[in-house]
Chains A and B, each alone.
Chain A
Amino acid sequence: MGTLEESAHLRRLPVLLFAAVHFSSSGGVFEQYQKARTQFVQTIAELATRPQNIETLQNAGVMSLLRPLLLDVVPTIQQTAALALGRLANYNDDLAEAVVQGDILPQLVYSLSDQNRFYKKAAAFVLRAVAKHSPELAQAVVDCGALEALVICLEEFDPGVKEAAAWALGYIARHNAELSQAVVDAGAVPLLVLCVQEPEVALKRIAASALSDISKHSPELAQTVVDAGAIAHLAQMILNPDAKLKVFSALSQIAKHSVDLAEMVVEAEIFPAVLTGLKDSDEYVKKNVATLIREIAKHTPELSQLIANTGGIAAVVDYIGECNGNVRLPGIMMLGYVAAHSDTLAMAVIVSKGVPQLAICLSEEKEDHIKAATAWALGQIGRHTPEHARAVTAANILPKLLSLYMDTESSEDLQLKAKKALKNILQKCTHLPALETLLHDAPTSILKHVVGQFSKVLPHDSKARRLFVTSGGLKKIQEIKAEPGSSLQEYINTINNCYPEEIVRWVPLAHGIRVSNITACEDDPLGHRKSRGH
């Protein structure tokens, strides 16, 4: 046996020698292992692109397998492993949670500083995929010290690395103000502004998006972004076809916080170039531009005046006409804000043909919040003077508003806004034919205002009095039951005082009223019977 073993040993010896000699030339153990690892990692990365595989992968416990591969000797395996991890974490927040719990992040952050650019891109991708799901995960990413490493990545030369780092920072800053503050404290903002100036379009877009995410939380953060000189560079990119979506969103996030910031945005001379964005083929670009204009118009009458002077109101009115649904909403709100500031501006909105467009919106739209916004905007336009109210009622809006108010299916917000708008318009409306249509349908709370307006107008206008009787308005007035002593009763009394007694008694009974009788009675000294207080 011994000899057998020995002979076997001896027989094996040349084989071993042979194997040792052909160490590098034939499939060695280490090469096989490396091949296997590469294949494994590449397959996982490929499978992770399809969502249906991810469940199976998760059940197979792929995280624990991928983790040591991140520390592999071969750089390709490291990168592919990071890529696979990123794709897995991207899909699901459970997996992202698993990535965080598996202590993978510190390793990633550590190796971010000294690896090549492919690895940096993949690592930044993982950080972004983890941070995007929730604020707690983003906080976990920040706690590993990822921010400094990402900011160092922003100083790299390779645009792909910069893009990945900027994207990750943007996703971190998106969630809340503390995380944004942490990103700003890491010194990311000047570097992001530099990235915005780079020639690569994708980098520009992502840097603009990151700046918009940072500045949206608070005025101080927006001020930090502005102090880094972002506005000028963003303003230059307005006409860039690929990046303008994010640029407009960034500018509107900056402008929304305060008057000073809005003024700084306007000083960058974005008007009237920004109005071309309202005619873009992409809906979301249009929506972002409308949001920007709305945020600027909201603050002061001077800014609204500026927008009006550059023809912004007409552009927005056209934009409302061309869009549908939620995309219209910023435009409608912008018109409301502009009209709310002063009656000159409201008249400017009327002159720019805003009222017919809003009326169309009111009838076409199905969503309650858009209808509520339209009702509010119309109320703001019509509430200033009788001229404004006349322009609004000429578009036949009052019955629609009334129906919205009375409709039981409308939301509370819509009903409230419709009622307020009705009240505001009615208090200034002196156009009697429009009021008469309301007289027949309105509930008591609205009727009070309608009758009040009649009582103001009728005592002075004899033609209107005649029309009032012939159209059946007086009859309707008599039919109203009002509590004695209420203001409604007072108004009714005032109206009744405009007419001679016979008419007032006779009208509810008879139907066809002859005009000649009326004229005979109107020769009465009605002039003396002026209503009190006018």
Chain B
Amino acid sequence: MAKGAKQLQRGENRKERQQPRTSAACWPSCVLRRDETPCQEQLKLVVILLRSEYSIRPSDACALSWCQSSRPSLVSPHFCQVQVDQSGQLGPLWAASGTGSADPGLPDRGMREEERKGPCGHRYLNRMAIIIQKNWRGYLGRKYFRKMMKIQKRWRSYYVRKYIHNYYAIKSYLEGLTVKNAIIREKLNEYVETTLKRQEEMALDNEERRKDYQAQRTHYLISTELRPGVFNSPFRLFPDEMEFRLQRCRPQIHSALPVCETDHTTRASGSAASFTSASMQRLPPISKKKLQGPFRDPAEVLQQRLKPLEPTLRVATSITSMEEARKELKREEERGRVNNKLFYPFSKADNNTKYEPSIHSSGSPELIAYGSKHFRDENLELLQGKKTPRPKPDSPVKDLGVAVDWSLFIYPDSGQKPLRRNIGCVESREVILEL
């Protein structure tokens, strides 16, 4: 079977070498002509091959091999080669169809005969087609890329000039910056001037105060009616400024000065330590005769008199110790305090009772039935038909001030509901009798 196939293939090849073979698809043959230059032919072949999607039809491969036949130098005894220069590098293309799948990169070595010599096999041709297509598409893509690049170039230049390196924006920014710098420089100079001025003023102020103080201290140098002072020399045209200062200043009030304590006062209030200090070199007392009388030992007396002050706690605490302690506590607390808001516990969490409005503020202002219309302890049936004692018109009850009309308590005989009114209100008889 294989042998026959091989023979068939060989026969086909021989035929093709002799004449161009018109295949069922006539387009390859009309494209191919003998007199064309090889590169053109090859280009056309490329076009042909690319028009097929993946696999090459046998007709194409035959056209290929025919093409090779016009250039026998390209043809090796065992296989056909197509070398396409047009679109970049292309390795040796196996136009020879083989049934097997041999590595196209190994022309001579280790190949099975049928693969080498055989007619177009689809796998080979697929691979070849892929390679050609890859290169062709790369070329096309690069062509389109150059076109795309032109558009992108224009777009990017516009974008950069408008948003990223906007020359006019930078220029206006720098102009604004110069203005701002000038302003800042002015302000800083002003600040320097004001601080200098303030310092000078303070220095002058201090000078003045010092001189005034000097004048106060040396107020005795002022000139009197009889005798001119030191600063008011008769040989000068006008007195020195110190003279005027002396005349202007207020005299010192001596109570303002710190009182220098005399010796005996210190002695009285001094402590035992100062009493026994080296400055007070006291000789031991001369031992006199013991005085008559119930006198205590002078040492004891002195000890008692010169006892150091040991104030009680109450005396020793300052008046404001409470406030100070309070402040201390507060400070202590505030030191760690982070949040000033008071914490309100949830006060109504356990409050399940419903709110009951008070009697006085709710309800209708009208009277309730009880107390005016009926009373609890009345027995209507018993009282029905009985008469209450009717007071006479001249009864002394009238003198009560409030004419209590007993007919208020009359039950009507008809059995109607008793009309009750407040006892305090005074009604006219007529109204009542109408009942």
Contacts and interface: CB of A to CB of B under 8 A. Distances in A.
Given A313-B181, A315-B184, A344 B173 contact: yes
B382 interface: no
B313 interface: no
A18 B185 CA distance: 86
Contacts of B192: 279
Q: Which 5 A-B pairs have the closest CB atoms?
A: A311-B184, A314-B181, A279-B192, A311-B180, A351-B174
Given A26-B276, A31-B273, A347 B170 contact: yes
A275 B192 CA distance: 11
Contact of B184 (A35, A157, A275): A275
Nearest to B178: A351
8 contacts: A25-B306, A27-B278, A28-B276, A31-B276, A157-B328, A281-B195, A344-B173, A347-B174
B282 A276 contact: no
A25 B181 contact: no
Contact of B299 (A22, A155, A318): A22
B281 to A, nearest CB: 9
B299 A25 contact: yes
B302 A311 contact: no
A348 B278 contact: no
Interface of B: 170, 173-174, 177-178, 180-185, 188, 191-192, 195, 272-273, 275-276, 278, 282, 284, 299, 302-303, 306, 328, 331, 335
Contacts of A145: none
Contact of A18 (B182, B191, B284, B306): B284
Contacts of A27: 276, 278
Nearest to B170: A344
Given A279-B195, A344-B173, 7 more contacts: A22-B284, A24-B303, A157-B331, A194-B335, A275-B188, A309-B177, A314-B180
Given A275-B188, A314-B184, A25 B177 contact: no
Interface residues of A, number: 32
A181 to B, nearest CB: 24
Contact of B174 (A194, A279, A315, A348): A348
A293 B425 CA distance: 95
A315 B187 CA distance: 10
Contact of B188 (A28, A278, A344): A278
Nearest to A278: B188
A6 to B, nearest CB: 22
Contacts of A518: none
A22 B272 CA distance: 12
A25 B267 CA distance: 13
Contacts of A406: none
A272 interface: yes
A122 to B, nearest CB: 22
Nearest to A14: B287
A144 interface: no
A352 B181 contact: yes
A308 B278 CA distance: 73
Interface in A456-496: none
A272 B192 CA distance: 15
B81 to A, nearest CB: 42
B351 to A, nearest CB: 41
Nearest to B282: A26
